[in-house]
Amino acid sequence: MSSLVVFIISAPSGSGKSTLVARLMRTVPRLVFSVSYTTRAPRGTERPGESYHYITRDEFEQRIARDEFLEWAEVFGNYYGTHISVVEQAAAEGSDVVLDIDVQGAAQLKKRIPDAASIFILPPSREVLEQRLRARSEDAGAVIDRRLRDAASEIRNYSAYDYVLINNDLEESAETLCGIVRAERTRRTRIEPLVRPILETFELEN
């Protein structure tokens, strides 16, 4: 089995990231989705263990002190973080990990796991992103305006990512995302442990 691959996926709210990640998880085998920890309360139909792991602020800070998070951040007064156990679980299962995190978390995680594969999903334009946000009918106008400002701030960081996926068409973008994951799994530096035994059968040294 090749070494575990960590996939970081980031995007502004409304870019279609959640839909694309859901398609990826259904299509490509041997992937574990990282469910983040948070101190905020559940919203709407969110379910503990599926949307987030909900814990108290005190417990989160205790976990920070024990260095249990691969990355964490405080956003609008609430903590969010990726627990190290998700990587341990995936390694035990022989799977790879998919993380849906923001640019701040992605930068932290890249420092911890430099060979993680990072993917940034872009909307085709600001106008399209605004249309998508308003079409969801989930947020008030002031919230949408804030999300658009946040999007501009996040998009400035796109060049820090290994791949940039412009989500013009859902089907094409989903296919591309799956292709990126499959290609990363066959990167030479990742599969050297599998190559060496093959070379040995040809009495070759690498």
Domains of the chain: 6-32+94-201 (3.40.50.300)
Q: How far is CA 134 from CA 127, 141, 144, 145, 171, in A?
A: 11, 8, 7, 10, 22
Give the C-alpha separation, 86 to 46, whole Å.
20
Predicted local distance difference test score (pLDDT) of residue 1: 38
Tokens representing 115 are 């060979």
Residue (of 58, 47, 53) closest to 89 by Cα position: 53
Q: Which residues of the chain have pLDDT under 50?
A: 1-2
How far does Cα 185 stand from its chain's mean position?
16
Tokens representing 1 are 């089995």
Residue (of 154, 186, 144) closest to 17 by Cα position: 154
pTM exceeding the 0.85 threshold for the entire prediction: yes
* Contact of 160 with 106, CB cutoff 8 Å: yes
How far does Cα 180 stand from its chain's mean position?
13
Q: Which residue type occupies 96? A: D
3-state helix, strand, coil split of the chain in percent (to 5) is 45, 20, 35
Instruction: Count Cα neighbours of 4 within 13 Å in the Cβ-side half-sphere.
Output: 18
Predicted local distance difference test score (pLDDT) of residue 2: 47
Q: Residue 123: phi, psi to the nearest 5?
A: -75, 160
